[in-house]
Amino acid sequence: MALGGGIYIARTMPFRSELQPVAPDHIGFSSSRQRDLVFVVNPLGANGRTGNEWRKLVPHLRSRLGKECNICESLTSGPCHAIDITREAIREGADAVIAVGGDGTLHEVVNGFFWAGKPVVSQVKESTYSTALGLIPLGTGSDFSRTFGWKNDPYEAIERVARGLRSRIDVGVITGESCDDHYFINVADIHLSAKAGFYASRYKRFGNLCYVIGALQAFIGHQNQDLRIRFNDGPWETWPQVTALCIGNAKYFGGGMKITPNADPFSRYLEVVILQNFKWYDFVLKLHKLYNGTHLSVKNVSDRSVLSIEVEDISGKGGIYIQSDGEHLGFLPKKISVLPAAIEMIV
């Protein structure tokens, strides 16, 4: 398939090869065969900047990987398209599906690794390996990559793909009363921060400034709420005057805010950070601590590591927002759990 034509991948070629072990938790691709890589691109991301940068990147990509890999490009045409592309690529035996864009595109690709509550698996009989997840950050926000210390540099990301080292990472799953399971790789959050993210999504054309605009709009009419919370299937607890509750598989959200500083996607736990009784001026005065990850020592901030957390709205009025990786997921009640070592990722 020619690269650069904006073609949707209807199918991929059968794959025949073995993977060579490099280290106990890392795998490298064999040099004895061509690797089949599917690049999922959101051309409209960052007001079209993703598509423009991707077209500039294609010649280097072909030069660096073309001899060793079958390179398949698939441009998304709307919401959830990346999920469908990813599921098809995995079923057809792709070596890796690589999200090209921001955290939104990565979020959809991660959800494509699952279907009906189970991992999607290859339907290619001779396949003896699992499809890996990859990332080339081009978009409004690349918060997930910050946890790994990766620069927002697509050329550096291509070198990671070329090396082909893999490591299994955790994934979070969100379940509710009347919806399918939803997966996240970065941070899920509830109440004020989720409402801010909902509004910020309307202002992506302003780049990272959208998070500031979203936060200001979310503060209008905001009220802290008492929540019922249960950790690790234990007893229910009442947490009064919750401003925001964040559940991190990784550390950053909101354009570089280190909200769950102890989160580690290799730890097999999620980090929960709860802010209580915050006023608008608390955010102004403590914003620098939220960004540099030193807020855990601040009054009315709590954190813990969990396997699962359930959250309910005591008032019963509804309207408590929840989002994950910047995608609005509706309202409480919800349960969030960790799926340890759920996906292989190119690191």
d(CA 142, CA 151) in angstroms, rounded, equals 9
Cis peptide before 79 (omega within 30 of 0): no
d(CA 169, CA 96) in angstroms, rounded, equals 15
Angstrom distances, CA of residue 301 to CA of 33, 239, 245, 260, 296: 52, 12, 10, 11, 6
Contacts of 279 (CB under 8 A, 6+ apart): none
Angstrom distances, CA of residue 215 to CA of 196, 208, 219, 221, 308: 5, 12, 6, 12, 27
d(CA 22, CA 167) in angstroms, rounded, equals 11
User: Look-up: residue for tokens 């339907």?
Assistant: 123
- Beta bridge partners, 309, equal 231, 336
Which amino acid, 338? V
Please count the other Cβ atoms lying within 10 Å of the Cβ belonging to residue 214: 24
Tell me if residue 36 is catalytic: no
Catalytic: which of 36, 95, 103, 189? 103
Which amino acid, 76? T
Which amino acid, 30? S
d(CA 13, CA 4) in angstroms, rounded, equals 18
Report whether 253 contacts 143 (CB < 8 A): yes
Q: Which residues are catalytic?
A: 103
